[in-house]
């Protein structure tokens, strides 16, 4: 978040693939693949990541509580 707010990280394109969402009462597990293009500290980058995000429903809102991602070759 700090890199985005400081503009060190700039995404110019994000394409999502293989998105799956599973809801278990007040917990949601989101898994997918993101194909990102952008710059980081002025250097261009591109590539796919596989990610898992966990959300918890609190006070009627979904809040992110954990994220894991890895680069795909």
pLDDT by position in tens, the chain (length 73): 677 778 888 899 999 999 999 999 999 999 999 999 999 999 999 999 999 999 999 999 999 999 999 999 7
pLDDT at 5: 76
CA–CA separation, 25 and 56 (whole Å): 9
Residues with Cβ within 8 Å of residue 53, at least 6 apart in sequence? 29, 30, 31, 64, 66, 67, 68
Q: Which overall architecture, per CATH, does domain 2-71 show?
A: Roll (3.10)
pLDDT at 7: 80
Indicate yes or no: pTM above 0.85: no
The token pair at 48 is: 């796919």
pLDDT at 32: 97
pLDDT at 56: 98
Q: Which residues pair with 6 in a beta bridge?
A: none
């Amino acid at each position: 978040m700090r890199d985005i707010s400081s503009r060190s990280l700039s995404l110019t394109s994000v394409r999502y693939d293989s998105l799956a969402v599973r809801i278990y009462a007040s917990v949601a597990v989101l898994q997918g693949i993101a194909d990102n293009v952008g710059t980081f500290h002025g250097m261009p980058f591109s590539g796919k990541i596989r990610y898992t995000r966990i959300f918890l429903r609190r006070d009627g809102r979904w809040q992110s509580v954990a994220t894991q991602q890895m680069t795909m070759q």
